[in-house]
Amino acid sequence: MDVSYILDQLNDAQRDAVTADSPGTLVLAGAGSGKTRVLVHRIAWKIQVEGLSPYSIMAVTFTNKAAREMRTRIEELLNNNVQGGMWVGTFHGLAHRLLKAHASEAGLPDNFQILDSDDQLRMMKRIHRELGLDDARWPPRQSCYFVNGHKDEGRRSAHIDDPGGDLYLQTMLRVYRRYEEICQQQGVIDFAELLLRALELWRDNPAVLSHYQQRFKHILVDEFQDTNAVQYAWLRILAGRGMPITAVGDDDQSIYGWRGARIENIQQFSKDFADTRIIRLEQNYRSTGTILSAANAVIQHNSQRLGKELWTSGEDGDPIALFAGFNEHDEARFVTDRIEELLKEDYRRADIGILYRSNAQSRVLEEALIRAGLPYRIYGGQRFYDRLEIKNALAYMRLIALRDDDTAVERVINTPTRGIGNATVETLRHYARDHQLSLWKAAVALVQSGGLAARAGNALRGFLSLVEDLAEKTAEMPLDEQVDYVLSHSGILDFHAREKGEKGQARVENLQELVSAARSFQPEDPEEDILRAFLDQAALDAGDQQADPHEDSVQLMTLHSAKGLEFPIVFMVGVEENLFPHKMSMDDPARLEEERRLAYVGITRAEQKLFLSYAESRRLHGQESFNSLSRFVREIPNELISEVRINNTVSRPTSFANGNLAAQAAAANGMALGQRVLHSIFGAGVVLSFEGQGPSARVQVNFEDEGSKWLVLQYANLQLL
Ligand SMILES: Nc1ncnc2c1ncn2[C@@H]1O[C@H](COP(=O)(O)OP(=O)(O)OP(=O)(O)O)[C@@H](O)[C@H]1O
Ligand SMILES: [Mg+2]
């Protein structure tokens, strides 16, 4: 059999890694050196040459998107359909699959549901109320952090030592215990719990473990540097004493330390897996020489490194462009202007990635993209399934699947408004707590016993029978009709349609989109209950489905979600001290190094062109700040960077509502580049640029008769034309 096509497009070191027959194989290499490619080709090799069945392979990727891509690439390579039972997915996705197959062994009800981070926070707030904790002193978010942090390390509340007189720990422990109890009672599990349960399932059920140990013949793990303690333990327990395992990773790209990821797992690997062969890849195939030199220069400032070389035989390419905006709007306009130019040069929108440090930065960029008529998609962040109206609709669907889902009850018991006030809900909560019941069962009991005032009782009865009715009427419908029916008969559609203006409109469109999503939904396992599978998918998916995936669109995402991806063009925006590195990480050397690795990840996403930009003044989370250029940019040698001058960006007049220019510019300097203005003495002209801020802000205007002049904005008294 001619299998040369599996090795043809690989260099020697990559071939070595693909064909290695060592029990443990660790590929340790920098960004863009072909680690993911090696994994894909290694799987093809295992199947085609070594004759492993796809059924006996497990591959772990970092995102659901990466899992889908991996599957497609293997299929392309093997020229066939390898659906045949191969397990490819994220740790969370695989753990979920495992728990569904063995719910009872894992101590879960068959229809357990996933609690996403928003739901988790909601539940935490309820627990705080129940325990009489004041949210100001005990932020519920902090409790989530506490619980998740311990779970990531594999610690349940029972494993935490008696905190003695430490009030903080005592309180957190009480919260953790109560949280565990309630989750168990309701049959819901959060993300960290998925992993921990999956680990405990194997640890405590030798029969289940041995089944999988016999089934799998090879485990492969991408982005190994970001595994946490529980994930690593899960791999180890499965691999047992002899299952071959291949891990690929890059210590310089470890960026999830804040979520419990442990770089040490890399060193641990060769100790734990006998006869590990370590293979290094040194040639980068992704980026231009300039981009690669910049990345290398930045990461060299870190002290904790295993140390790797990375070179490219490619061209140097363009210098890295650096743009200083007056504020975030100016920066966003620079981005959209450049994108428009690039699109004229034969690039497609999907070739362009815009990367930022914090989710909140996306809003201004989104607005600029919308204004410029440029379709875009966001990975992560405000995902389709995170949107309010979608969560409302899904809460009804979840209740149809499982009445005891308290989070869903809380969400829609009075949405749309049906006269169930806070007092009634509070009574319900008390009753549920006192009788150890779910909210739903408590509601049924209260309605039956007549324990409520007539009005409240009727309203509550209305809600209960609505849900029962929805369940009954839609039981036999195909999924999309079911969703459609629930949207109109629950009142959710009307409720959101009544919201004013664009927002209501957008919500209705999103709800309609949910029907389409249901129509095109196909469960991985056709035997499975489709509603259940759909709800699980909604909770798990990393937000890939918000826009039409086939439309050519600009890609927006945080630096964290960009890991493993590549784009011909990359804009890294907001490269400012306090934003990136993040101000929370500035004082801690270890966290600062993690921020630098994030910069390394960002830079190395770019194939051909890299644009960096920052804003001299920025309003974020409602606060104005003035930050200097990020140290990470200053760590790039000057000769690799070319500064973009502001005038270059004045390509078209910006339109915005009439008003007093000084006031607007004072609020947001530089909004009006290209704007035509009138001065009482110099006459009409066009705004060329701005300088400074506050009272010293100056504006440069090119007057038709008088030529270019600098004026102090505050006194210039310009009128918009
Ligand atoms: N031998 C090769 N010949 C040509 N192109 C290659 C070769 N190896 C890898 N590539 C290409 O280089 C790019 C980077 O490869 P890949 O994504 O596998 O790198 P990686 O090491 O996984 O990067 P990251 O660390 O960012 O995850 C991809 O476009 C890939 O197709
Ligand atoms: Mg990769």
Domains (ranges, CATH) in the chain? Answer: 4-101+196-282 (3.40.50.300), 113-186 (1.10.10.160), 284-383+545-653 (3.40.50.300), 386-529 (1.10.486.10), 660-721 (2.30.30)
- Residue nearest atom 16 of ligand 1, based on CA coordinates: 34
Kindly state if the Cβ of 254 falls inside 6 Å of ligand 1: no
| Closest ligand 1 atom to 281 CA | 21
- Taken in order 150, 151, 156, 157, the sign of the CA dihedral is positive
- Give the C-alpha separation, 497 to 487, whole Å: 11
| pLDDT of res. 148 | 95
Task: Tell me whether residue 30 is annotated as binding.
Answer: yes
- Nearest ligand for residue 33 CA: 1
Q: What is the predicted ipTM?
A: 0.99
| pLDDT of res. 380 | 60
| pLDDT of res. 434 | 92
For 46, 326, 576, the CA distances from 668, given in Å and listed in that order, are 59, 8, 18
Closest C-alpha among 374, 298, 361 to residue 615: 361
Q: Are 321 and 288 a contacting pair, CB within 8 Å?
A: no
* Spans of the chain below 50 pLDDT: 542-547, 647-671
| pLDDT of res. 703 | 80
pLDDT digits (tens, 9 = 90+) for 409-434: 999 999 999 999 889 999 999 999 99
Within a 10 A sphere around the Cβ of 485, how many other Cβ atoms? Answer: 15
| pLDDT of res. 693 | 59
* Stretch (H or E) spanning 83: none
Task: Tell me whether residue 217 is annotated as binding.
Answer: no
Strand order across the 567-572 sheet: 376-378, 554-558, 352-356, 567-572, 606-615, 320-325, 641-644
Q: Are 115 and 189 a contacting pair, CB within 8 Å?
A: yes
- Neighbouring-strand partners of residue 90: 61
Amino acid at 77: L
pLDDT digits (tens, 9 = 90+) for 118-129: 778 888 988 999
- Give the C-alpha separation, 633 to 641, whole Å: 9
| pLDDT of res. 544 | 40
- Nearest ligand for residue 35 CA: 1
Q: Are 495 and 415 a contacting pair, CB within 8 Å?
A: yes
Kindly state if the Cβ of 61 falls inside 6 Å of ligand 1: no
Q: Is 222 a catalytic residue?
A: yes
Question: pTM (2 decimals)?
Answer: 0.74
- Give the C-alpha separation, 219 to 43, whole Å: 10
Q: Give the three-class secondary structure for 265.
A: helix
Distance of CA 354 to the CA centre of its chain: 14
Q: Tell me the DSSP string of 422-470.
A: HHHHHHHHHHHHHTT--HHHHHHHHHHHT-S-HHHHHHHHHHHHHHHHH
C-alpha 48 to ligand 1 mean position (Å): 22
- Nearest ligand for residue 66 CA: 2
| Closest ligand 1 atom to 10 CA | 1
* Stretch (H or E) spanning 263: none
Kindly state if the Cβ of 92 falls inside 6 Å of ligand 1: no
pLDDT digits (tens, 9 = 90+) for 629-682: 999 999 999 999 999 865 434 333 333 322 334 334 434 444 356 667 788 888
C-alpha 32 to ligand 1 mean position (Å): 5
Q: Is 223 a catalytic residue?
A: yes
| pLDDT of res. 655 | 30
For 413, 425, 450, 451, the CA distances from 455, given in Å and listed in that order, are 15, 13, 11, 12
C-alpha 495 to ligand 2 mean position (Å): 45
Tell the burial category of 695 from Cβ atoms under 10 Å away from its Cβ (0-12, 13-18, 19+).
exposed
Closest C-alpha among 343, 375, 317 to residue 610: 317
Q: Are 533 and 518 a contacting pair, CB within 8 Å?
A: no
| pLDDT of res. 652 | 30
| pLDDT of res. 546 | 44
* Stretch (H or E) spanning 133: none
Burial 506-536 (b: 16+ CB within 10 A, else e): ebbebbebbbebbeebebeeeeeeebbbbbb
